[in-house]
Structure formats: structure tokens, C-alpha cells
Structure 1
């Protein structure tokens, strides 16, 4: 039979071996684990730096493209001024806008063409010019009376060069119709 002393020594040896294994594994494995975490951290920092540089490059590209778009819009306005400046320059256009509509882009375009833009108030006369109505539908006060052919409905503020061009074409046609009607009478 095995003595109690022998059991106690064996059990102590097992615990000492376990402690030494944990101690050696912890100190020997720690630099490996720390080194792996450091490599992962360095890779993440490199990815972050690349993403940051890419983001800055994209911002610069967007700014450059916005400048090009602005330049193209200015060129388009100059082309419109060349096309419609002689016919619309010096003409008077009254602008009435529905409460929630914003006619500022239209007035800026008209002024670039040399058109005299006058804000219109209900009840006043616009016999010496064209009335632009910036609204979803013509107001009831406009449909009353003999104003046919002397106003133009703009349901949507032109947000592109093509729509601005179309608006100027409609205005030029309407002003020509008004001039012809005046000459006939």
C-alpha cells in the first residue's frame, strides 16, 4: 500500500508543475500575444491612414468637379445671354410668387439676361411687361379679366441649364406675341 506521505508529495509535485507551467506559459506567451495585437493595431492604423488619404483625395476631387460645374453654368449663362440678351435685354418682367415658392434663381437669371425684374403685387398693372407667375397653378385673380397672353406660369423653378433655356424661350415667344398684338392694335 502507498503511504499518505507519498500521496502528499505527489500531489504537491503536481501543483508545483502546474504553477510552473502557468508561470512559464504566461511569460513566454505574453510577448507573442502582445506582438500579435501590436501587428493588428499597426495594420488597422495603416488602413485608417489610407482611408483618411482617400477621403481627402475624394474631397479635393469633389471640389474640383464643383468648380467645373460652376464654370460650365457660368458659360451656359453667357451663351443664354448671347442668344436672348438682344431680345430680352431692357424688357420689363414682373414676378409674382406663391407663398412657398422661391423665385430668386429666376430673378437672378433674368437680370443676367439684362431684363428688368420687378416684384409684382396683386392689383397692380403689368401692361408694360410680362408677368411671370411662380406657382403650382394660376391664382384666381389672374384668370379674371383680359390678361390672356400677358403672363406665363412657372410651375417649377428651373434647376438645370436646359430648363432655364426653355423658360427663356417661352418668355421670348410670349414677349414677341405681345409685341405683335400691340402692333396690330
Structure 2
């Protein structure tokens, strides 16, 4: 059996070695740790500065591209108005939306080709124009009406291609209605 005094001496030696290790590690390794930390921090700061600069450049590029897109959209709207103004100017378009508000994009689009935009309320007459129904689903009160007198628009046209397609549909419906009136 090992006497208690050897246990006590070995325990004391462990604590003395631990203290000496902490002292040596704290004083001798301090400059090495500090230099390594400073190097890591300077690398991280340099990467952060590069990322900020890149982010700023990308924002400027996005702003330039957005301006170009807006300019292109204006040119397309002008082309649409030239294309459809003779046929649609003076016509009326009635707009019904689920939330009750007429979308600004639709109003601007129709005004750009000379059409009059009228907010439609259920039960009114739209015999002198075309009804645009802006809704996910066609309302029940409209399902009994003739299909060639109204147009179902699921989403407000937000791109020039969708706006062009909507104007084409409006033009076709007005031409169909005019042709059916002339036949009767």
C-alpha cells in the first residue's frame, strides 16, 4: 500500500507544475499570441474593407441597371402608345378589382394609349367599353355574362410584355364587340 504522504506530495507537484506552466505560457507565449491575433484581425479588416467596396460598387451598378430598365420600359410604353393609340384612343375600359381599388399600372397603361379608365361596381353597365376583371378567380356575378365582353386579368401586368399582351386583348375585344354590333 502507498502511504498517504506520497499522494499528498504528487498532488502538490501537479499543482506546482500547473502553476509554472501557466506562468511560462502567459509570459513567453504572450507576444506570439498577440502577433497572431493582430495578423488575423488585420486580414479580417482587409477582407471587410474589400467586401464593403465591392458592395458599394454593386449597388452603383444595380442603380445604373435599374435606371436603364426604367428608361427601356418608358420606351416600350411609348411604342405601345404609338401602336395602339389610333385604335384605342377615346375608348372606355372599366376596371373591377377584388380590393375595390383600380391598380395604378393599369390606369397609366390605359391612359398612355388614350383610353378612359372607369372604376366598375357590380351591377353597372359596361356596354360602351370592355370590363377588366382583376382577380384570382372570376366573381360569381360575372360568370353568366358573355365572355367576349370582359377580360380576366389574374395579376396586374408589371412588365412591358404583359402590358403589351393586355392591350392586345383589349384591342381584340373592342374589335369583336364592334364587329358584332355592325352585324346586328
Using the size of structure 1 for normalisation, the TM-score is: 0.78
Does the C-alpha gap of structure 1 residues 40 and 180 become closer, same or farther in structure 2, counting only changes over 3 Å? same
Pick closer, same or farther for the CA change 1:22–1:151 going to 2, 3 Å: closer
Report which of the two structures shows the higher radius of gyration computed on alpha carbons: 1
Distance 2:33 2:99 in 1: 68
Q: Say whether 1:68 aligns with 2:68.
A: yes
| Aligned counterparts of 1:171 and 1:35: Cα–Cα separation in 2 | 73
CA contact (8 A) 1:85 1:113 kept: yes
Structure 2 counterparts to residues 49-128 of structure 1, below 5 A: 49-99=49-99, 103-128=103-128
> What is the deviation of 1:129?
1.2
Aligned residue for 2:106, secondary structure, equals helix
Distance 1:127 1:27 in 2: 94
2:142 alignment partner in structure 1: 142
Q: What secondary structure, in the 3-state scheme, does the structure 1 residue paired with 2:29 have?
A: helix
- Alpha carbons 1:91, 1:129 under 8 Å: kept: yes
**What is the alpha-carbon distance in structure 1 between the residues aligned to residue 99 and residue 25 of structure 2?**
78
Unaligned runs of 5+ in 1: 1-14
For 1:50-96, what per-residue CA distance to the aligned partner results, in whole angstroms no more than 9, with x for missing partners? 11111111111111111111111111111111111111111111111
Q: Normalising to structure 2: TM-score of the pair?
A: 0.78
The alpha carbon displacement at 1:125 in A equals 1.3
Change in CA separation of 1:155 and 1:101 when aligned onto 2, cut-off 3 Å: farther
Structure 1 position 23, deviation (Å):
6.3
Helix, strand or coil: the match of 1:169? Answer: helix
RMSD value over aligned CA atoms?
Answer: 2.5
Contact 2:96/2:102 (8 A) holds in 1:
no
The number of equivalent residue pairs is 167
- 2:183 is the alignment partner of 1:184: yes
Decide whether aligned partners of structure 1 residues 36 and 123 sit closer, same or farther in structure 2, where only a CA change above 3 A counts: same
